[in-house]
Copies of this chain bind each other. A is one copy, B any other.
């Protein structure tokens, strides 16, 4: 993991692109680019934020851990996303830990500086508001998913959502290890595996990490997809 001057980063900065040059400069004076290897932990739940992380490339997986050590994935920050701005804005300890699963690059902005700038500069505040609002809405969808649907509905709807995101109506590639997807969907990997097998009677074929959608209508019939729960 290396440190470089902040302006080396060109991609993933579209979030800060609309900012005035003066404000960008103000932020970058207190920023550093951080390149991290797969497996790195960015921060642990319970810790106080010292930086506002912004994903430049790669991703950060955010997960919660129980006292006994069970872990569940809660969200994923992708290029252009702020990483848990809620903790930075409220000056409170992280409720989730962040881990990167692939080599990634982050812009680290000092928390105090970021907070102060957001409080004074409407353009940054606006970005922050939209980021927080988007993340909030994703969590609402997730809670509805967990409380209102069965395991197999969650899996089926997840595949349909992936197919939309990947713009391929009849073939989907799982974006992570099944392990992680299962925990994102609130079930064990074993249940996820079994559910996938079972759904092969309902319009899909599973081939390792790619899934062929044979009969989308049938899959939708058993999955009860819902635009107010599923993404896009």
Q: How many copies of this chain does one complex carry?
A: 2
Across the interface, which residues of B come within 8 angstroms of A46, CB to CB? 228
Residues of chain B with a CB closer than 8 A to A22's CB: none
Asked whether any CB of chain B lies closer than 8 Å to the CB of A186, the reply is: yes
Residue of B with least CB distance to A143: B74
Contacts of A89 in B (CB 8 A): 129-130, 133
**Interface residues of A, CB < 8 Å — how many?**
51
Interface residues of A, Cβ cutoff 8 Å to B: 45-46, 64-68, 70, 72, 74, 85-87, 89-90, 92-93, 95-96, 118-122, 125-126, 128-130, 132-137, 139-144, 146-149, 183, 186, 224, 226, 228-229
Partner of A143, one of B118, B137, B146: B146
Measured CB to CB, the nearest residue on chain B to A224 is: B67
Q: How far apart sit A72 and B125, CA to CA, in the bound complex (Å)?
A: 32
Contact across chains for B74 and A140 when beta carbons are under 8 A apart: yes
Contact of A64 among B74, B128, B143, B186 (CB under 8 A): B143
